[in-house]
Structure 1
Amino acid sequence: MRFLCLFFLLVATTSLASVLTEPKLDRQCDLDLKIKGPLLQEQQDAAAKDFAHIFLVEKDPKKAWDKYVPGEYIEHNPFGVSGRENAIAFLTGFIQTPGLTISNLTAYGGGGFGHFHFRETLPGEFDRVVMDRLRFVGTCFVEHWDVAQDVTGEETNPLAWF
């Protein structure tokens, strides 16, 4: 059991390190990308990691959206409203909340989607795990779904969340 916990801690730490050190893409995303197959997978993976880094590590939603969400943005979160500017306004206020920490971040992309899994904590307010799924067109994001679950400290599963 101890080995498994150490193994999962190592995997989570390695995943966070890959997002933190992933090379940045210098260009804007491309909606009209004509490539397919492994090269598209690689470009979507790099885009997802760069987007997650800018948004969740640098805590700069406007910069992330300017680079990866060029136009229409469909939101499926029941507490959000579709639209690029709506997302930027809401997320800028939220991500820059004093005391908010993001940890255990894993990001990857391919198959037409970017996926992000992380923990967000604001002491005295909430501690939750989030999974985001964003749909690509080319290397741009156009649609978003997410799920979040509170961390209570009473979880039965010793491998919960990460």
Structure 2
Amino acid sequence: MRSQFALIVFAAPFALFHGILAAPSCIPDTSTTFCDPSRPITGSQMRSIFNTFVDQFYFKRDFQGAMKKFVSSNLIQHNPQIANGSQAQVEVVTSILANYDGPEFELVIIDVERGYGVVFNRFRGKAGTGLPITGVADIYRFEGSCMVEHWDVIEGLPPNSTNPMPFRK
């Protein structure tokens, strides 16, 4: 009996660390990567991962940390102005969003059946830049716990817009 107790006491921390005894935490601390295309996840885990990614990437503007933790380094990019790979997206987004305030709102849609997360945001050009209010829809495709593919739709508000507030929440 004592040997079984000793085995449990010494083996439990190892098993918990490696996710053997308990389901792994859905969102780890910010210093680790969470991206594993082969790791199956539930719909609620996908929602949690995507919501955490959106908060870290868009609102906290921790582009590097969010991409490292949740997005494949081999990200398939469908924006013709950005190369494939998560690092290319970090570099482009960092330079573009340096001139924008926001986002001012978010709308997140998650299709757990097909493995997609979509976020809609509105950004406002910083004073003096002359940049218009811009609506952005980013679409990410999941494989396991990892986002592996990205599309975006970007629309700037032209000065002669018939609809002055098309990006309103």
Structure 2 length-normalised TM: 0.69
Aligned length: 133
For residue 120 of structure 2, the aligned residue among 102, 117, 120 is 117
For residue 85 of structure 1, the aligned residue among 80, 83, 87 is 87
Q: Show structure 1 runs of 5+ residues with no match.
A: 1-23
Rg larger in 1 or in 2? 2
- TM-superposed CA distance for 1:98, in Å, is 5.2
- TM-superposed CA distance for 1:58, in Å, is 0.3
Distance 2:55 2:115 in 1: 19
Percent of aligned pairs with the same amino acid: 24
Find the counterpart in structure 2 of residue 66 from structure 1: 68
Distance 1:106 1:156 in 2: 20
Find the counterpart in structure 1 of residue 135 from structure 2: 129
Larger helix share, 1 or 2: 1
Distance 1:118 1:155 in 2: 20
The amino acid that maps onto 1:77 is: N
1:1-162 mapped onto 2 (5 Å cutoff): 25-26=27-28, 28-35=34-41, 40-95=42-97, 97=98, 100-109=101-110, 110=112, 111-123=114-126, 124-152=130-158, 154-156=161-163, 160-161=166-167, 162=169
Please list the CA deviations of residues 73-122 of structure 1 after superposition, one character each: whole Å capped at 9, or x if unmatched. Answer: 01111211111221122222333x15522111122322311100010111
CA change 1:135–1:126 in 2 (3 A) is same
Runs of 4+ in 1 over 6 A off after TM superposition: none
Structure 1 length-normalised TM: 0.72
